[in-house]
Amino acid sequence: MSIHPLTSACRLARLSGLLLACLLASSQAKAEPEAPVLDAFGQTVPTGEPRRIVTLGSDVTEIVYALGEGERIVAVDRGSQFPAATASKANVGYRRRLTAEGVASLSADLILAAEDIGPQEAVEVLRELKVPIVFVPEDHSGEGIRRKIEIIARALSRDASGQALAASVIEKLEAAKALTAGIPAEQRKTVVFFHGLIRLTAAGSGTAADAIIKLAGGRNPMDEVSGYKAASEERLVELAPEVILMMGDGQGGPTAEEVFSNRALAATPAGRTRSLIVLDGAYMIGFGPRTADAVRDLATALYGDRGGVGPD
């Protein structure tokens, strides 16, 4: 079968035109800049290869380690105690009581900081340094963890690693939430989280403790108030918590004896059954790479076999 020369030439011209169009589209797509990643205060996150990083916030520190970049860290805040390698880093103290001089003396080339660092005067001084400072948002949700990872990974020029880590964390978190998804509302346990026993300050809505309780299938009767509020003895009787949740003190406590020696707590359903759950603070309310594990642990502590499926 013969092909007419004119027909062949037309086809060749059309093919060439199509190829040219594809090449142009491809070059235009490559020329388009990536969407900027913004930190907690709307600043574009700088990218680079920092070698001396200061991390302020347990979740921030854990994410850097989870990305495999822990060797770049030269100093952490007091709350950053995981993984164990953090013990070998310089410590700048409590992240909300920083001294700008102490942080500035570390010759860092990047500061990754939780958005709630303070005091404000120290923050203003740090902002004036030539060292880039990236503020990581406080967000008590799966998407919040994803955004934290995205921001930190971008600052370290590890976008691909960040995407893989975020996907893994979200997958595990969804699996942990599913453990208690089938428990009817009327069978969900009421859980109140207290910071300490002196003033009985309980966690309301908008707090990390409130979020972790709900992710694990519990009900927080304090969620009608925002933030942390002192709960009176009368109020505790009305709330009738079935479980008391607290952070560990690093010395094996608080114990059930200590907690339920409080007259107000002893009068609650939790007091009558001595139902106390104690978890490490950063693990429980850090909202970082280990949050899914914390949800699993709390769900299992609340519901036994109904809230856990055993080890991975």
pLDDT digits (tens, 9 = 90+) for 190-202: 999 998 888 889 9
The pLDDT assigned to 9 comes to 43
pLDDT, tens only, 210-245: 999 999 999 999 999 999 999 888 888 899 999 999
Question: Using alpha carbons only, how large is the chain's radius of gyration in Å?
Answer: 26
Flag whether pLDDT at 146 surpasses 80. Answer: yes
The pLDDT assigned to 34 comes to 61
Tell me the average pLDDT across 68-97. 97
pLDDT-derived band at 36, boundaries 50, 70, 90:
confident
Superfamily of domain 53-178: Nitrogenase molybdenum iron protein domain (3.40.50.1980)
Mean pLDDT score across all residues of the chain? 88
The pLDDT assigned to 15 comes to 40
**Higher local confidence (pLDDT), 305 or 219:** 219
CA distance 310 to 307: 9
The pLDDT assigned to 307 comes to 53
pLDDT-derived band at 311, boundaries 50, 70, 90:
very low
Say what percent of the chain tops pLDDT 70. Answer: 87
CA distance 139 to 161: 21
pLDDT-derived band at 51, boundaries 50, 70, 90:
very high
Flag whether pLDDT at 268 surpasses 50. Answer: yes
Angle of helix 208-215 versus helix 159-178 axis, rounded to 10 = 60
pLDDT, tens only, 6-35: 344 444 444 444 444 444 444 444 444 467
CA distance 286 to 283: 6
The pLDDT assigned to 237 comes to 86
pLDDT, tens only, 112-140: 999 999 999 999 999 998 899 999 999 99
Q: Determine contact, residues 116/138, Cβ cutoff 8 Å.
A: yes
pLDDT-derived band at 1, boundaries 50, 70, 90:
very low
The pLDDT assigned to 228 comes to 93
Question: Phi then psi for 189, rounded to 5 degrees?
Answer: -80, 145
Instruction: Report DSSP state, residue 266.
Output: H
User: Locate tokens 């963890």: which residue?
Assistant: 145
In the chain, residues under CATH classification 3.40.50.1980 are: 53-178, 185-307
The pLDDT assigned to 306 comes to 62
**Higher local confidence (pLDDT), 21 or 280:** 280
Q: Which CATH class is domain 185-307?
A: alpha beta
